[in-house]
Chains A and B, each alone.
Chain A
Amino acid sequence: MNDIGKPATGLAAERTERSGREAVPLSQRLAARGLDRLTLLVLPAVLFLLSLFIYPFLYGLWLSFQPKAGDGPLANYSRFFSDSFLYDTISTTLWLAVPVTLLNLALAIPVAFRVRLMRRQRLLTTILVVPITLGTVLVAEGLLNYLGPQGWFNRTLITFGLTAEPVRLVHNYWGVFLSLLITGFPFTFLLALSYVSGVDPALEKAAATLGAGPWERFREVLLPLLLPGLAITFCLSFVQAFSVFPSAVLLGEPSGATRVISIAAYHAAFEEYDYSMASAIAMIMGLVQLVIVAAVLGARGLMYRGATSGGKG
């Protein structure tokens, strides 16, 4: 960094000499605070954020206060919160996203603990990442075939006499739930694995020699050290699950039990052509996510967040 900063420093020094002052040149003072030419490299990222995130967000916010029908700037919001068909989408979405995220975490932690000790970690992680790369639509298609009334799953159950009627697992809540679980698990797992691997294995050994059994080691030592990381994992996985759209349409009951908030926004935008209302729904959606994430991160602030190794390495 300093090397790149030098030519600028040289120029500035010349200038100060000419002006006859002995003050430290501005470029040097900036460099001391970590600002030099290299800092300019953040510009593309800033531009990217401005044009693809901040501008659309502010535009959407502005648009949400310009209701199609008039009635004052808050008309969209009052309509949303007075129409149960609209405001129920919040609880519908939460009812999907929160249990899925929690279950994914609950499944990811033990698997991560097992995988941490494995030698062929990469092979397994590659296999687990496949659902991410497949995309939601392909997973939905697979699930429709597998879990549908004529799918392998129901045929097996019926063949073995475990059920007389096919179990309904698609085009309802469970279809979306399972799809979210499958597509969300790898992401949750990989994050959890990185946190689990970060805990010094000697701590577990120390706890064992002090008389702690497997459950006590987890509860007293590992879990408290993992919780801050798991809180972050929860937030990221939750946000992903909360914005569910394709699987809610393909595997769910988009006009009933799985009418999630993104469907409401889609409906407003592309079926009613009410961009203003759609923007308002998007803002509400963002706010709900923000509230949950803020609550989780706030709770994280109360936890121990220091090193996860037990002394000098």
Chain B
Amino acid sequence: MAIHAANFRELRLERLSREFGTLNAVKDVSLRIQKGEFVALLGPSGCGKSTTLNLIAGLLPATGGGIWLDERRIDPLRPEERGFGMVFQNYALFPHMSVARNVGFGLKMRGVPRSDARRRVEEAIGMVRLKGQERKLPGQLSGGQQQRVAIARAIVVEPPLVLMDEPLSNLDAKLRLEMRAEIRRIHNTLGATTIYVTHDQEEALSLADRIVVLRDGEIRQVGTPEDLFARPDHLDVAEFMGFRNRLNGRIVAVDGELAVVETGGVRLRGRMRGTAAVGSAGSIAIRPDDLHPVAPGENALIAKVSAAEFRGREFLGLARTAEGVDLAFHSERRLQVGEDVHLGAHPERMVVFAETAP
């Protein structure tokens, strides 16, 4: 394989900040990314993830902090001096250039000899499986093909870092799954280092080695997909990771990793995140697929079924507690609307926070 990623050890963001007027789009973001890693920046829109990516690419100047590539400080450099490959949300292919010229653009700008450039363009086009489309203009390609061209164009220059800004958000669901696998395959083949911005937690969980959850311009949690999925640090991260059910209550007991929350007259035991004093307010979060109808007992929530949708293997049920909290759960049997149901989950699958949901 002739195309491979340029060498470096580590990219460091040190207290990186960006203000737009009075708005802090990115606040003191510090992060270390090792060569070969696939890091996803995850968060809702407006959380600063795209701004962070633009700061790394040099498309926006930082208003505070620094970016280091090993011992070299790169944040004063212009984007064309950084040499990172970037894939844009709307692809940003040059509409007047053929696929081959689009892919070869970065090589031309770097003054790579023509014969060498031609070979590498050919190879990159092969890698994104677009052989035979070299002479077409971007306008003649489908969305998925355009995205492949954008990826080929970014990787052909062998950048130390590949930056991807929601590259799949313009594709339909089926193509998105296909391209997701493709992006991971290309990352592995190249040994590239990729920073991938997305608001889709499923995308982040399936692609990344490490996920950085951002909110209001700040890092909320950094961890492996497994970490984040099972042990979110904050309630908002939990919400993002699919903990749809959140019940506010009071923490009545803490026992090492486990804590008991009393909510609506029911005591639920779950994994404690962070620290909390006994007697303080707290909340417990549960994923719909972990919450099931159970036999009546102390650890069960009581609710009235308000809807049940057939989802193939199971039913997705909606129920409301006496306190008016809506719960989503999974059930193997069909439930009647209006029926009372006892719902429970395994303590390992419930997470207790010292914060309360709004």
Residues of A within 8 A of B (CB): 200, 202-203, 205-213, 216, 220-221, 224-225, 304, 306-313
Contact = CB atoms under 8 A, between A and B. Distances in A.
B273 to A, nearest CB: 39
Contacts of B154: 209-210
16 contacts: A200-B92, A203-B94, A205-B57, A205-B79, A206-B88, A209-B82, A209-B86, A210-B80, A210-B106, A210-B153, A210-B154, A306-B95, A306-B137, A308-B95, A310-B90, A310-B95
A311 B146 contact: yes
A208 B90 contact: no
B9 interface: no
Contacts of B106: 210-211
Interface in B51-83: 57-59, 78-80, 82-83
A306 B95 CA distance: 7
A225 B58 CA distance: 24
A209 B57 contact: yes
B80 A205 contact: no
A311 to B, nearest CB: 3
B174 interface: no
Given A200-B90, A311-B150, A312-B91, A209 B96 contact: no
A210 to B, nearest CB: 4
A309 B95 contact: yes
Of A206, A213, A224, which is in contact with the most chain B CB atoms at under 10 Å from its CB?
A206
A186 B105 CA distance: 35
Q: Which 6 pairs show the lowest CB-CB distances between chains A and B?
A: A311-B91, A210-B106, A304-B96, A211-B109, A206-B92, A202-B92
B47 to A, nearest CB: 21
B249 interface: no
B110 interface: yes
A308 B58 CA distance: 23
Contacts, number: 100
Nearest to A213: B80
B57 A210 contact: no
B85 interface: yes
Nearest to A311: B91
Interface in B122-179: 137-139, 143, 146, 150, 153-154, 157, 163, 170
B105 A209 contact: no
Of B86, B94, B105, which is in contact with the most chain A CB atoms at under 10 Å from its CB?
B94
B92 A203 contact: yes
Contact of B105 (A220, A307, A309): A220
B96 A225 contact: yes
A208 B96 contact: no
A306 to B, nearest CB: 5
A225 B138 CA distance: 14
A277 to B, nearest CB: 48
Nearest to B137: A306
B93 interface: yes
Contacts of A203: 92, 94-95
Interface in B269-295: none
Of B85, B105, B110, B146, which is in contact with the most chain A CB atoms at under 10 Å from its CB?
B105
Given A308-B95, A310-B138, A202 B90 contact: yes
Given A200-B92, A310-B95, A209 B109 contact: no
Contacts of B110: 211
A175 to B, nearest CB: 41
Contacts of B80: 208-213
Contacts of B84: 209
Contacts of B86: 205-206, 209
Contacts of A225: 95-96
A264 to B, nearest CB: 43
A29 B138 CA distance: 38
A309 B95 CA distance: 7
B90 A224 contact: no
A308 B90 CA distance: 13
Contacts of B105: 207, 210, 212, 220
Nearest to B171: A312
B62 to A, nearest CB: 16
A206 B151 CA distance: 12
A58 to B, nearest CB: 41
B197 to A, nearest CB: 14
A7 to B, nearest CB: 42
Given A205-B59, A211-B80, A212-B109, A312 B95 contact: no
Nearest to B146: A311
A2 B141 CA distance: 35
Nearest to B93: A310
Given A210-B106, A306-B137, A311 B94 contact: no
A310 B78 contact: no
Of B80, B83, B95, which is in contact with the most chain A CB atoms at under 10 Å from its CB?
B95
Given A310-B90, A312-B143, A208 B95 contact: no
A200 B138 CA distance: 14
A202 B59 CA distance: 10
Interface string B21-47: 000000000000000000000000000
A311 B90 contact: yes
Contacts of A307: 95, 139
A229 B326 CA distance: 58
Given A203-B92, A308-B95, A310-B91, A208 B139 contact: no
Contacts of B170: 311-312
B94 A221 contact: yes
A205 to B, nearest CB: 5
A208 B93 contact: no
Contacts of B138: 310-311
Nearest to A227: B96
A209 B153 CA distance: 11
A126 B86 CA distance: 38
Given A311-B93, A312-B146, 19 more contacts: A202-B92, A203-B94, A205-B57, A205-B59, A205-B92, A208-B80, A209-B79, A210-B157, A211-B109, A216-B109, A220-B94, A220-B105, A221-B94, A225-B96, A306-B137, A309-B90, A310-B90, A310-B94, A311-B90
